[in-house]
Amino acid sequence: MLTTLLNVLLMVVGFGLLIFVHELGHFLAAKWAGIRTDGFAVGMGPVMFSYRRGVGLGWGPSEPRVKALTGRGALDLSDADLERLGIGETEYSLRWLPVGGFVKMLGQDDMDPGSRSADPRSYTMCPVGKRMIVVSAGVVMNIILALVLFVVCFLVGVRFEAPVVGEVVAGLPAAEAHVVNGTALGITEPGIRPGDTVISVDGDPIVTFADLQMATAMAKPDTALTVIAERPGVETPLEFTLTPRKDPGSGLLSVGIAPASTTTLLDGRGVRGLDEALAGAGLTAQGVEPGATIVSVDGVPVEHYADLDRQATIAGGRPLTAVWMQPGQDPAEADRFVTATIGVEPVFEMFWQPALETGGPAEGDAALIGLSPLHRVTSTTPGGPADGVLMPGDLVLGVAGVSHPTLSTIRRTISTNKGEVIDLRVLRDGVEEVVSVRVRAKTGTIGIALEPAYDLNRIAAPIRDRLASAADPGSVVPTPVAAIEIPPNARIDAIDGTSTSNWTDMYRALLASTAGAAASGTGATVTLSITRPLPNEPRAEVPVALDAADVR
């Protein structure tokens, strides 16, 4: 609450500064032009307090104080009268509503632009050239302010994100980029990797991550770019070729990368829920404080989040041992660093499906060997079709007659029923319910957010085929479970004898069962112990053959 109020206050102060400088430009120009200025106000509405030379500072407008001294209002006093009495012609005021400001000049009436004053010091009697300067002076002052603030910011220092890759989206151009000099450097896998630092695009130097985003967004459609990047552990810069594709969200060309994150925790100032998040991860109990920095993981030094991510992948799902430097500690005080265990959540492989519309992005499902989790509702758009119909926590069991759909199937089914009323079967508080929702005719959506039900060991309808490459809609290949009879909503109770009660268990069990095959580059066969969603159905043992690509 306090942070919100502070942000509002900063916004008001910043807006007020812009108004003050703008109106100051008009005011100074009017003074220079010899125009009588009766008022200079920041804000609108009633006067909070005002100042006028000769009567001083006080609450409310200065006009009553002038009348008390002279018997007449300031507007009724001539220049000679004001000079004789020692009273200033201008009232400087701060008003209650921080939504504007103004300079009141003699002879200027915004409510009646046609009105004129015969006073030689009036705005209307001022030469046209000087009036033009008065009118434009506000904008000129704002430009000058912007230039001054720009210089000040860069003198103080402005942080820019370095062009270090933090995340590469599978199936998009960066993940599949060709490494031109890969053979000479012994690099066999395609794609830009997390931790790579981009130094140029088509010969243009890249200094910040924003430069990289701009270079890809402004590229010519369907034209390959040459990207030069440095990779930790590789002495020679890598040369990639890739062709940006249109991002459906932004409408701009993109290659599917995100900037790197640091290995330093937020310091907690103004961050809601940070303490709860650290406690929930078990870090608070181990002595890790907000603002701490990871120095090493499993004995390996880390500098970027990509290094941490790489160690998590190597760990294969087991917890990581991390050394933390607390905020304010000297890096030389290694003996005072804190050692804490970090739990690792698995990242599932994307099984890509052809785009719903020609030229559109491929749809993907996070899955294990072709098995994908069910999904539950996390929220609905206020006022949207599903608002008040679907509830957070609803487990989606069916959409428009499609039983236990994957995420991509949910999206496709809803999208292909634009303007229609569809039924959704959900599990709510342990009871199955059927609700009806009308799909938006224009967008083909119903306004819901979904998340995988990783806490359950049940599966959605198995994925029978996938795209070998998200960029190639014709590269359809079967999944490992393509020819195996596993019904939707089946429960995976064990993998090769290792009990599984959720998807993290399934991931770790599968990883353990295929570790030897992965090391030798061969395939493997794993046995799934499944319980079909039928009454009194015995557990079945289902062997699944995996090739070398499936166990990598």
Judged by phi (left if over 0) then psi (alpha if -120 to 50, else beta), residue 286 lies in alpha
- pLDDT band with cut points at 50, 70 and 90 for residue 267: confident
- pLDDT band with cut points at 50, 70 and 90 for residue 3: low
Q: Which residue has the higher pLDDT, 108 or 183?
A: 183
**What is the b/e burial string over 33-65, where b = at least 16 CB atoms within 10 angstroms of the residue's CB?**
bebbbebbbbbeeebeebbbeebeeeeebbbeb
- Give the pLDDT confidence score for residue 333 in this predicted structure: 80
- pLDDT band with cut points at 50, 70 and 90 for residue 134: very high
Sequence spans of domains, the chain: 2-156, 165-259, 274-342, 482-551
What 382-387 contacts at long range (C-beta under 8 Å, 24+ apart), as own/partner pairs, is 384/446, 384/447, 384/448, 385/437, 385/438, 385/439, 385/440, 385/445, 385/446, 385/447, 386/437, 386/446, 386/447, 386/448, 387/447
Cα separations in angstroms, 473 against 252, 355, 372, 466: 21, 7, 21, 10
Q: Which residue has the higher pLDDT, 390 or 469?
A: 390
Most confident of 117-126, 218-227, 336-345, 542-551: 218-227
251 DSSP 8-state letter = S
- Give the pLDDT confidence score for residue 445 in this predicted structure: 92
- Give the pLDDT confidence score for residue 62 in this predicted structure: 92
Radius of gyration of the chain (CA): 34
- Give the pLDDT confidence score for residue 358 in this predicted structure: 59
Q: Are 195 and 260 in contact (CB under 8 A)?
A: yes
Neighbours of 355 (CB within 10 A): 15
Query: What does the H/E/C string look like for 327-381?
Result: CCCCCCCHHHCEEEEECCCCCCEEEEECCCCCCCCCEEEEEECCECECEEEEEEC
The vertex-150 CA angle with 147 and 156, nearest 5°, equals: 140
Top CATH class, 482-551: mainly beta
Q: Does residue 2 have a pLDDT over 70?
A: no
What distance lies between CA 391 and its chain's CA centroid? Answer: 25
Neighbours of 140 (CB within 10 A): 13
Q: Does residue 270 have a pLDDT over 70?
A: no
- Give the Cα separation of 509 and 517 in Å (integer): 14
When mean pLDDT is compared across 187-196, 395-404, 423-432, 453-462, the lowest value belongs to: 187-196
Burial class (CB in 10 A: 0-12, 13-18, 19+), 442: exposed
Coil, helix or strand at residue 396 = strand
Tell me the angle at which helices 2-33 and 128-156 cross, rounded to the nearest 10 degrees.
140
**Averaged pLDDT of the chain:** 88
The vertex-12 CA angle with 10 and 16, nearest 5°, equals: 115
CATH code of domain 165-259: 2.30.42.10
Q: Does residue 310 have a pLDDT over 90?
A: no
Q: Which residue has the higher pLDDT, 94 or 474?
A: 94
Q: For residue 283, what is the enclosing H or E element? A: none
Q: Does residue 355 have a pLDDT over 90?
A: no
Average confidence (pLDDT) over 368-387: 93
Q: Does residue 159 have a pLDDT over 90?
A: no
- Give the Cα separation of 160 and 260 in Å (integer): 12
The vertex-545 CA angle with 539 and 551, nearest 5°, equals: 110
pLDDT digits over 19-40, tens only? 999 999 999 999 999 999 999 9
Among residues 142, 143, 134, 135, which one has the least CA distance to residue 21? 142
Could you check whether 165-259 and 482-551 share the same CATH topology? yes
- Give the pLDDT confidence score for residue 137 in this predicted structure: 94
pLDDT digits over 102-125, tens only? 999 988 776 666 667 778 898 888
Q: Which residue has the higher pLDDT, 491 or 475?
A: 491
Q: Does residue 1 have a pLDDT over 60?
A: no
Helices (H), 86-176: 128-156
- For residue 204, the cross-strand partners are 201
pTM equals 0.60
Query: What does the H/E/C string look like for 466-482?
Result: EECCCCCCCCEEECCCC
Neighbours of 541 (CB within 10 A): 10
pLDDT digits over 51-71, tens only? 999 999 999 999 999 898 888
Q: Which residue type occupies 199?
A: I
